[in-house]
Amino acid sequence: MLEEIIIQNAWWKTKRVSESKLGKIKRSEFDLLKDELEGKKIICLLGPRRSGKTTLMYELIEHLLKNGVSERNILFISFDNPKIRLNLQHNFDETIREFSNIIIREPIDRLSSNAYIFLDEIHKLDDWGNIIKYWQDMGLKIKFIVSGSSSLRILKGSGESLLGRINFHLILPLKFSEFTGRAVSADFGNYNDIKKAHDELLLEKQELLIKLDEYILKGGFPEVFDITDMERAYEVLKQYKTLTINRDILDLKDIKEPRILSDLADLLSDHMSQRISYSAFADILNVKMDTIKNYISYLEECFLIYTAYLYSKKQVISTRKEKKLFFIDAGLRNSLLLKEIDDLEKTKIVENIIFFHILSLKKRELFPKIFYWLDKARNEVDIVVTLKNEVIPIEVKYSDHIGKKDIRGLINFCDEFKTRGMVITKDLLRNEGNIMFIPAWLFLIII
């Protein structure tokens, strides 16, 4: 088994991480994660497959190597390897002791300096929380950094056993600012701040608009960042869906009809940014409605999709009403869609992108909640989010010709809840009373 692990830890020989394992784009989370390496809490990276969790782990390893940590004091184990997973399920403690005795060459309870143990896709290890707790409770010089692409398995595994001992970080696909390499700091609730940022970016505006068109089609998964052929990019993204279903759902759930699960994911792609009907999907796929509900929860658990609730002050109403569907990445969704992306589709995609960026503002929350809203006449507000104790309604209209009729739901929400609202436009920037109109390209660079 140690021979298998040696293959995953090439730096024990080379004293560096292979360039191919390091990311080309600096992630916004890196500096925070780097600082947390000095703390005692477990670092846990959560997020969809291929969003950059493993790459961040390798970048943290490279950082440790460059800052004087011995290569022998760094262990990386991927539980995606079936052989390693099956062996360590029963021999985890023995493996850690072997690593200490054979690689570090010091007893585990008398380490002269910190050991850093990176455990990738740890949700595949049954009862992982109690296993790690055992080592945490010993008070040894060990720092654990773990990752997982199944939220429920990770959170159940950490449970009460690691309460207060673990920091969670949601690692999502690239934001637009990461995709472009351009970010501007501004308070998107302050029009003067927004206008100042707009003026600063005027010379770059056309380039940013071109990049936004690319981002709308391709999304933010790091692996497709450099792929210019959209057909090839979509082939890669389709593999993500298959990989997630096979490794994070079928491996962990008792699924009797895996084809139905795959077909449902494809079917959902045509309902992005829309309210969904479980019964309608059940009729189309000829299965029970409970099956649809379960399968959608599995897809959400593995970060492929996200469902937003109706905004209401009454929790029971919010829970019972129909949900609204979003994909974690627009490019992934586009790869599953079997029709041309016209202007109407582009508007739905931009709404999904805005939702994803709003979600990124709340990613330190374990179960971030984002809503939509309907008034009595069923006029909709696309997104409702609470930030810094302020309720903010956001309407996405990817156009520059927007009348009051187009934002009737937003106006009604602002009147009813006495708050400010935002309209995300194509290229319209203005402030009208308690409603601000902001171009999508600008909003995405700022957020």
Is the domain of 164 the same as that of 188? no
Is residue 375 domain-shared with residue 438, that is, in the same domain? Answer: yes
Shared-domain flag, residues 126 and 219: no
The residue out of 170, 194, 226 marking a domain boundary is 170
97 and 47: one domain?
yes
Domain shared by 199 and 311, yes or no: yes
Is 304 in the same domain as 235? yes
Same domain, 150 and 236: no
- Which among 151, 170, 189 is the end of a domain? 170
The reply to whether 160 and 220 lie within a common domain is no
Please say whether the beta carbons of 423 and 436 come within 8 A.
yes
Residue 265's SS3 state is: helix
Whether residue 183 is found in the same domain as residue 68: no
Each residue's pLDDT tens digit, 112-171: 999 999 999 998 888 888 899 899 989 999 999 999 988 777 776 666 667 788 898 999
- The verdict on 15 and 127 lying in the same domain is yes
Q: Residue 90 sits in a domain of what CATH number?
A: 3.40.50.300
Residues 231 and 183 in one domain: yes
Total domain count, the chain? 2
Range of the domain at 367: 176-446
Spell out the per-residue pLDDT of the chain, length 447, in tens: 678 899 999 999 999 999 999 998 989 899 999 999 999 999 999 999 999 999 999 999 999 999 999 999 999 999 988 888 888 988 999 999 999 999 999 999 999 999 999 999 998 888 888 899 899 989 999 999 999 988 777 776 666 667 788 898 999 999 999 999 998 988 888 899 999 999 999 999 999 999 999 999 999 999 999 999 999 999 999 999 998 998 888 877 778 788 999 999 999 999 999 999 999 999 999 999 999 999 999 999 999 999 999 999 888 888 888 999 999 999 999 999 978 888 889 999 999 999 999 999 887 776 788 999 999 999 999 999 998 889 999 999 999 899 999 999 999 999 999 999 999 999 999 999 999 999 999 999 998
